[in-house]
């Protein structure tokens, strides 16, 4: 499998490519299936339909890996937090976590991980239908990013509610992060047992924290999850994606295979700091997809920086809903062509 070989740093006939949020609203075929499901959460909960949209970008755009269609927030949802996706506003939890009692009331460990049966079923159906040469990527949110939503109750620009907890009640925050981490470990393990070939940990809100707080409240838990998975499944590559921490790269270590570089971190800097220890994934600025010229310029420059290999092409964050499908196809085929050996 080209994709898993690339994750392990082996030589491949070309550099494989996929896009974060590749199954989504920019595809008219996705919108049709979502309509059939009724809404986004129903789509996540219906394995046959979730598998269908997981496979769409492989067939339509030509990416080298499929990523499981789900959402990071199904984990806190199955820990007992009622979740809604409100049009135009995004995800909202009805009762955010405020106290130690709230954390203790959440379902934890195996009981929570075992409730995510619809995810495991989606993986099984997808793996059966997916081209055996293409990888299926499973994923979870990092404990910090999940906890941010659980405490804030919704997306935030300032992170003041969750950061107030960090500085006024770190014990509560660690209690929550530990509980979430224990579920994430079993959740990723169950995904591997169901058939995913690679797992990615999304830490979308990494950049909300100063360096010392990031290491203590996020990276420590990511490392712990990676060690747990690596000890049991040494052959399954792990990708980490802490978004926006280009200034903290000197402190990054741990038992994972691929480091996802976000669009704000220069690829050459990531290569200098991490390239000898980890394969790098990324990092085209997603808004360049609005222009083929801008796409070509960045793909060429990334390919040049990474010409020795140890690279997986991706965007530096998710694809946006109003990107023309044709431009996404252009990006994918250009990455594959330009790196052909």
Q: Cite the active site residues.
A: 21, 25, 34, 71, 149
Strand order in the sheet with 238-242: 65-67, 135-141, 198-203, 238-242, 258-260, 279-284, 311-315
Rounded to the nearest 10 degrees, what angle do helices 28-37 and 47-60 cross at? Answer: 180
59 vs 337, beta carbon nearer ligand CP3: 59
Q: Does 279 help bind ligand CP3 (rule: CB under 6 A)?
A: no
Shortest reach from residue 328's CB to ligand CP3, in Å: 12
- Mapping DSSP onto H, E and C, the string for 22-34 reads CCCCCCHHHHHHH
Tell me how many residues contact ligand CP3 (CB under 6 A).
21
44 vs 305, beta carbon nearer ligand CP3: 44
Shortest reach from residue 235's CB to ligand CP3, in Å: 22
Q: Which two tokens stand for residue 21?
A: 């949020």
Which one among 91, 242, 260, 275 touches ligand CP3, defined by CB under 6 A? 91
25 vs 121, beta carbon nearer ligand CP3: 25
Judge whether 275 and 310 are in contact, CB under 8 Å.
yes
- Measure Cα distances from 15 to 19, 28, 51, 216 in Å: 13, 28, 25, 34
Q: DSSP per residue over 104-127, as a string? A: HHS--HHHHHTT-HHHHHHHHHHH
Which one among 202, 217, 221, 248 touches ligand CP3, defined by CB under 6 A? 202
194 vs 305, beta carbon nearer ligand CP3: 194
Judge whether 106 and 183 are in contact, CB under 8 Å.
no
91 vs 237, beta carbon nearer ligand CP3: 91
Stretch binding ligand CP3 (CB under 6 A), from 83-91, 115-123, 162-170, 272-280: 83-91
Q: Does 126 help bind ligand CP3 (rule: CB under 6 A)?
A: no
Q: Which two tokens stand for residue 217?
A: 């409240």
- Contacting residues toward ligand CP3, per CB under 6 A: 20-25, 34, 40, 67, 69, 71-73, 85, 90-91, 139, 155, 202, 204, 318
């Amino acid at each position: 499998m080209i994709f898993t070989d690339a994750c392990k740093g082996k030589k491949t006939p070309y550099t494989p490519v996929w896009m974060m949020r590749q199954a989504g609203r920019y595809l008219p075929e996705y919108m049709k299936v979502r309509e059939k499901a009724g809404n986004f959460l129903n789509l996540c909960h219906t394995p046959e339909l979730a598998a269908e949209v997981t496979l769409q970008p492989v067939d339509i755009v030509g990416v080298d890996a499929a990523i499981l269609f789900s959402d990071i927030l199904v984990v806190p949802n199955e820990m007992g937090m009622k979740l809604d996706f409100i049009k135009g506003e995004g995800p909202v939890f009805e009762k955010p976590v405020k106290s130690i009692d709230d954390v203790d009331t959440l379902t934890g460990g195996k009981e929570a991980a075992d409730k995510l049966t619809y995810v495991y079923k989606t993986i099984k159906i997808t793996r059966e239908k997916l081209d055996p040469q293409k990888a299926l990527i499973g994923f979870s949110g990092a404990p910090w990013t999940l906890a941010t939503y659980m405490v804030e109750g919704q997306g935030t620009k300032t992170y003041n509610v969750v950061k107030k907890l960090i500085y006024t009640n770190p014990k509560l925050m660690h209690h929550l992060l530990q509980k979430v981490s224990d579920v994430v470990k079993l959740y990723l393990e169950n995904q591997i047992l169901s058939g995913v070939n690679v797992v990615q940990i999304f830490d979308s809100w990494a950049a909300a924290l100063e360096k010392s707080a990031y290491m203590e409240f996020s990276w420590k838990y990511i490392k712990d999850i990676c060690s747990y998975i690596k000890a049991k499944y040494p052959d399954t590559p792990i990708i980490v994606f802490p978004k926006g921490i280009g200034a903290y790269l000197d402190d990054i270590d741990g038992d994972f295979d691929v480091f996802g570089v976000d669009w704000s971190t220069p690829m050459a800097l990531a290569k200098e700091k991490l390239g000898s220890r980890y394969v790098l994934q990324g990092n085209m600025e997603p808004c360049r997809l609005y222009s083929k010229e801008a796409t070509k310029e960045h793909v060429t420059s990334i390919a040049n920086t990474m010409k020795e290999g140890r690279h997986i092409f991706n965007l530096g964050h998710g694809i946006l809903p109003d990107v023309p499908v044709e431009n996404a196809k252009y990006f994918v085929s250009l990455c594959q062509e330009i790196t052909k050996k």
